[in-house]
Amino acid sequence: MKKNAVGWFEIPVTDMDRAVKFYETVFDIRLSRNLIGTLEMAWFPEVENGMGSTGSLVFHPEYYKPSPDGVLIYFTAQSGDISIELGRVEKAGGKIIMPRKQISEEYGYMALITDSEGNRIALHSRIK
């Protein structure tokens, strides 16, 4: 059985309300807000089919800082069509920095965006 190499991810934020609104709007999901010690977190929903991994938005002024230059996380377009999620990015306070482009027929499409906090993230879908 194949195992996913990524077990968890954390995306730094400076304004949790704004970041939650951005990710909930773009991906049409609900995040679960939690306070764990001094970390303010907003967890992404669990993956239904066991494929991929989940993670959290995280706020802590001392340990987490948003960046457009760090690790690049690819979010799967749950709609199946990357154009749908891309259409929500700017309305939610983000920016499209590389529009949808085809990786290959086998691997589908991707785009790069900046979230409401200044983090660079990628979107991916097998179609459009």
Q: Are strands 120-125 and 32-36 parallel, antiparallel or unpaired?
A: unpaired
Tell me what the pLDDT averaged over the chain comes to.
91
User: What is the pTM for the complete model shown?
Assistant: 0.88
Give me the pLDDT at residue 8, please: 87
Give Cα separations from 67 to 24, 41, 117 (angstroms). Answer: 20, 18, 8
Sorted by where each starts, the structural domains of the chain and their CATH numbers stand as 9-125 (3.10.180.10)
Which tens digits make up the pLDDT trace of 14-57? 999 999 999 999 999 999 999 999 999 999 998 776 667 889 99
| Segment among 23-27, 58-62, 110-114, 123-127 with least mean pLDDT | 123-127
Q: How far apart are CA 81 and CA 55, in angstroms?
A: 22
